[in-house]
């Protein structure tokens, strides 16, 4: 068996093209240009790359993009003041606070300060609550990107056993929430560092989603033949970008697999643009 490679780049490009068309329609109908503000605090090089890629994607899709760069010495009060300023600006529709933040800043306090109607990352407790109830205002970008990949490639989630590796607020928990909602209808198991006999559980998965941030953690003996494997992780190993899945070992066993890079990553940005468009479209 040779796994079908799920091309996240191509699927994300199609979604961004659709978004660009809808952005143009909103501009023509309302005169509003969806506007995403990104706040980058500190000197983390990976964060700088992510923000730059998001800016490029915004501009390509016709959205306005603004970047605020703050030094690593920024205080929590200073960052909260900037968030409040963006909350009060009616021309700003989405606010993205890039993580990680410097150690003197509590990320939960800052993320909670973003207005829930501008919380295009879907981190605010109000938006997480709406998601839990199955009536989301915004979809969490990376998990929603995974769902779009599955749908676009014809992977059926209804009745499937989906195993999610990881329980983070950014990927693991919201991923499980999306999979278990009516319409997706998967049976979901969430695994983490305290899970006993992990391989015995991952081998039950029809859909295995790895989001733990450990390079090449998922090995061939952890995957059921014919499973769909979605690799959310990305790490640098010997100057090479790799995922949570040992790709070369797992690909011959899986029926479909996402590469790293070029799998889930582009989808995250594509869904961020969708959320910003949704926020702008909701302006009265």
34 in a structural domain: yes
* The domain boundary residue, chosen from 124, 149, 176: 124
CATH label of the domain that carries residue 119: 3.40.50.10860
Same domain, 157 and 261: yes
Name residue, tokens 């950014």.
Answer: 170
Instruction: Provide the residue-wise pLDDT of the chain in tens; the chain has 284 residues.
Output: 678 999 999 999 999 999 999 999 999 999 999 999 999 999 988 888 888 999 999 999 999 999 999 999 999 999 999 999 999 999 999 999 999 999 999 999 999 999 999 999 999 999 999 999 999 999 999 999 999 999 999 999 999 999 999 999 999 999 999 999 999 999 999 999 999 999 999 999 999 999 999 999 999 999 999 999 999 999 988 889 999 999 999 999 999 999 999 999 999 999 999 999 999 999 86
Q: In 71-102, which positions are buried (b, 16+ CB within 10 angstroms) versus exposed (e)?
A: eeebebeebeebbeebeeeeebbbbbbbeebb
133 in a structural domain: no
| 139-142 contacts at long range (C-beta below 8 A, 24 or more positions apart) | 139/178, 139/271, 139/274, 139/275, 140/170, 140/171, 140/174, 140/175, 140/178, 141/268, 141/269, 141/271, 141/272, 141/275, 142/170, 142/171, 142/175, 142/211, 142/232, 142/264, 142/267, 142/268, 142/271
- The confidence score (pLDDT) of residue 48 equals 86
18 in a structural domain: no
Same domain, 176 and 221: yes
pLDDT tens digits, one per residue of 15-54: 999 999 999 999 999 999 999 999 999 998 888 888 899 9
Element (H, E) at 69: strand 64-70
**What pTM does this model have?**
0.95
Burial label, 131 (beta-carbon count in 10 A; 0-12, 13-18, 19+): buried
What DSSP designation does 137 have? S
254 in a structural domain: yes
131 in a structural domain: no
Element (H, E) at 118: none
CATH label of the domain that carries residue 172: 3.40.50.720
**CA dist list (Å): 205 to 111, 188, 202, 244:** 33, 9, 5, 16
Same domain, 120 and 190: no
Instruction: Give catalytic residue positions.
Output: 54, 98, 121
Same domain, 245 and 198: yes
Burial label, 216 (beta-carbon count in 10 A; 0-12, 13-18, 19+): middle
Strand-pair category, 161-165 with 187-191 = parallel
20 in a structural domain: no
- The confidence score (pLDDT) of residue 1 equals 67
Same domain, 258 and 159: yes
Closest to 67 measured CA to CA, from 108, 59, 143: 59
**CA dist list (Å): 17 to 30, 61, 258, 273:** 20, 7, 21, 11
229 in a structural domain: yes
Same domain, 165 and 252: yes
- The confidence score (pLDDT) of residue 254 equals 98
Alpha-carbon span 262 to 266, nearest angstrom: 7
Total domains in the chain come to: 2
Q: Would you call the peptide bond into 242 cis, given omega within 30 degrees of 0 as the criterion?
A: no
Structural domain including 38 reads: 30-124
Strand-pair category, 235-237 with 240-242 = antiparallel
């Amino acid at each position: 068996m040779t796994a079908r490679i799920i091309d996240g780049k191509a699927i994300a490009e199609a979604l961004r093209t659709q978004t660009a068309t809808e952005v143009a329609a909103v501009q023509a109908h309302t005169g509003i240009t969806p506007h995403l503000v990104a706040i980058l605090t500190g000197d983390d090089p990976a964060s700088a790359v992510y923000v730059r890629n998001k800016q490029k994607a915004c501009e390509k899709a016709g959205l306005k993009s603004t970047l605020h760069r703050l030094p690593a010495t920024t205080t929590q009060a200073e960052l909260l003041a900037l968030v409040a300023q963006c909350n009060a600006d009616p021309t700003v529709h989405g606010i993205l606070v890039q993580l990680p933040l410097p150690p003197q800043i509590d990320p939960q306090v800052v993320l909670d300060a973003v207005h829930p109607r501008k919380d295009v990352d879907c981190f605010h407790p109000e938006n997480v609550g709406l998601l839990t109830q199955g009536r989301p205002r915004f979809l969490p970008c990376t998990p929603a990107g995974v769902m779009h990949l599955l749908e676009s490639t014809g992977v059926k989630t209804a009745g499937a056993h989906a195993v999610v590796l990881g329980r983070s607020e950014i990927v693991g928990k919201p991923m499980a929430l999306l999979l278990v909602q009516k319409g997706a209808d998967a049976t979901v198991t969430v695994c983490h560092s305290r899970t006993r006999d992990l391989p015995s559980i991952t081998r039950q998965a029809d859909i295995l989603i790895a989001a733990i941030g450990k390079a090449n953690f998922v090995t061939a003996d952890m995957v059921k033949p014919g499973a769909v494997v979605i690799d959310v992780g990305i790490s640098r190993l010997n100057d090479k970008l790799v995922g949570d899945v040992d790709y070369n070992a797992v690909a011959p066993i899986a029926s479909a697999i996402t590469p790293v890079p070029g799998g889930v990553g582009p989808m995250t940005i594509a869904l961020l643009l969708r959320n910003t468009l949704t926020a702008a479209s909701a302006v009265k």
